[in-house]
C-alpha cells in the first residue's frame, strides 16, 4: 500500500512553515523518516494521520484521498503519536477493548480474541489487569503499539517511539515493531539514526520541512564508500583547525580524546585512517549541506 505525498505545504498561524512543498513516495515497507527535532516530521505525520489539513498539496494512500476521505483512511490506519496519553486508572485490557469498539469492532468475541492476541504480542499479558498509571515508559510505548495494531491496519505511523526509553526497552520495542506482518506500510519517524539503520530498507531525511534525501540506507552508505576518514586528537585547538580546513562530519569524546570523522575524496593528511561509513555520517552530511544552502 503505497503512500504518495505531492507538493505538501503547511504553515501554522504563528508563521512557522513546518512543511515546504514536500514530495515523497513511501512504499509498502518499514520506512524511516529521519530528521532533527523541529524538522517537520511530526507535522507531516499528523497530516498523513488526518489530524490536520495542509495549506496545499495532496496525499494519496493506495487510491484513497487522505485529505477528503478521512473516515476511510482512519479505518486502515494505526497511529502512535509522539505524546501518547492514556486513561491512568483503566487497565490495558479494558482500554484496548474500548478502543477496539471505537475502531468499529462490534463483535464481543472478535474483540476479546484480538485484544488478548495483542497483549501477548506486546508482552503485556501479565500486566493486563493493572492500571496504566503503573506502567513504565517502555510498557506504555508497547501498549501504544498494541492500540495502533487494532483492526489490522494497512498503514502504521509511529512518531519518535523510542525517545526516552532505556536500551533494553528500546530493543524490546524495535523487535516488536519489526514483527509487524507483511503487507503493512510502517512509517517510523525519529531523530535516532540507529532506529532506522536497524529496521528500515527505505528512508528519507527531512530538515526545516524540506526533503534532503530519499532512498535506500545501503545505497546512501555506498555513496560514501572510501570518503570517510577518522583521526584521534587531544587538543581543542587542533580540532578547531581541522574544522576550518576540512568537512568535519562529527566529533566524539573517547577517553578524553577527540575522535573526528572527516568527509573527503582523498586522505586529509597525516594520522587519518579510512573507516567504513555509517548512517550517522549520511545524516550529518545531509544536514550540513542543507544549512550551507540556507546560509547562501
115-163 pLDDT, tens digit per residue, is 999 999 999 999 999 999 999 989 999 999 999 999 999 999 999 998 8
- Indicate whether 48 and 151 sit together in one domain: yes
pLDDT in tens, 242-276: 889 999 999 988 888 889 999 999 998 888 999 99
3-class SS letters over 156-191? EEEECCCCCCCHHHHHHHHHHHHCCCCCCEEEEEEC
Contacts of 17 (CB under 8 A, 6+ apart): 9, 10, 11, 209
pLDDT of residue 294: 64
Domain that holds residue 262: 222-295
DSSP state of 37: T
- Indicate whether 30 and 171 sit together in one domain: yes
- Indicate whether 234 and 214 sit together in one domain: no
Do 204 and 24 meet the contact criterion of CB atoms below 8 Å apart?
yes
Distances (CA, A) of 37 to 86, 227, 259, 282: 24, 27, 25, 17
Is the pLDDT confidence value at 164 over 60?
Answer: yes
For the chain, the domain total comes to: 2
- Indicate whether 163 and 274 sit together in one domain: no
Mean pLDDT of the chain: 92
Q: Please tell me the distance from the alpha carbon of residue 220 to that of residue 225, in angstroms, as a whole number.
A: 9
Where among 185, 201, 221 does a domain terminate? 221
* Matching residue, cell 491512568: 88
Q: Please tell me the distance from the alpha carbon of residue 180 to that of residue 255, in angstroms, as a whole number.
A: 40
Is the pLDDT confidence value at 292 over 70?
Answer: no
Where among 186, 221, 256 does a domain terminate? 221
- Indicate whether 191 and 63 sit together in one domain: yes
CA 78 to centroid of chain Cα atoms: 15
- What's the CATH number where 268 sits? 3.30.70
- Indicate whether 183 and 94 sit together in one domain: yes
- What's the CATH number where 143 sits? 3.40.50.300
- Indicate whether 244 and 98 sit together in one domain: no
- Indicate whether 240 and 164 sit together in one domain: no
Is the pLDDT confidence value at 293 over 70?
Answer: no
Amino acid at each position: 500500500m503505497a503512500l504518495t505525498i505531492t507538493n505538501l505545504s503547511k504553515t501554522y498561524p504563528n508563521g512557522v512553515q513546518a512543511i515546504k512543498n514536500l514530495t515523497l513516495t513511501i512504499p509498502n515497507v518499514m520506512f524511516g523518516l529521519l530528521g532533527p527535532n523541529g524538522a517537520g516530521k511530526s507535522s507531516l505525520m499528523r497530516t498523513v494521520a488526518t489530524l490536520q489539513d495542509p495549506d496545499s498539496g495532496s496525499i494519496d494512500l493506495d487510491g484513497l484521498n487522505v485529505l477528503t476521505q478521512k473516515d476511510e483512511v482512519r479505518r486502515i490506519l494505526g497511529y502512535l503519536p509522539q505524546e501518547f496519553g492514556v486513561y491512568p486508572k483503566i487497565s490495558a485490557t479494558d482500554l484496548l477493548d474500548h478502543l477496539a469498539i471505537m475502531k468499529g469492532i462490534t463483535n464481543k468475541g472478535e474483540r476479546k480474541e484480538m485484544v488478548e492476541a495483542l497483549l501477548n504480542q506486546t508482552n503485556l499479558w501479565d500486566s493486563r489487569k493493572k492500571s496504566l498509571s503503573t506502567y513504565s515508559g517502555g510498557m506504555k510505548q508497547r501498549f501504544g503499539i498494541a492500540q495502533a495494531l487494532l483492526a489490522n491496519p494497512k498503514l502504521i505511523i509511529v512518531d519518535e517511539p523510542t525517545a526516552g526509553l532505556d536500551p533494553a526497552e528500546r530493543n524490546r520495542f524495535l523487535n516488536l515493531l519489526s514483527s509487524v506482518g507483511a503487507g503493512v506500510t510502517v512509517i517510523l519517524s525519529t531523530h535516532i539514526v540507529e532506529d532506522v539503520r536497524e529496521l528500515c530498507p527505505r528512508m528519507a531525511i527531512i530538515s526545516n520541512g524540506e526533503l534532503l534525501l530519499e532512498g535506500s540506507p545501503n545505497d546512501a552508505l555506498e555513496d560514501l564508500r572510501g570518503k570517510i576518514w577518522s583521526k584521534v586528537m587531544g587538543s581543542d585547538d587542533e580540532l578547531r583547525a581541522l574544522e576550518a580546513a576540512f568537512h568535519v562530519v562529527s566529533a566524539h569524546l573517547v577517553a578524553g580524546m577527540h575522535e573526528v570523522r572527516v568527509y573527503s575524496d582523498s586522505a586529509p593528511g597525516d594520522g587519518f585512517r579510512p573507516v567504513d561509513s555509517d548512517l550517522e555520517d549520511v545524516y550529518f552530511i545531509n544536514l550540513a549541506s542543507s544549512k550551507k544552502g540556507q546560509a547562501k
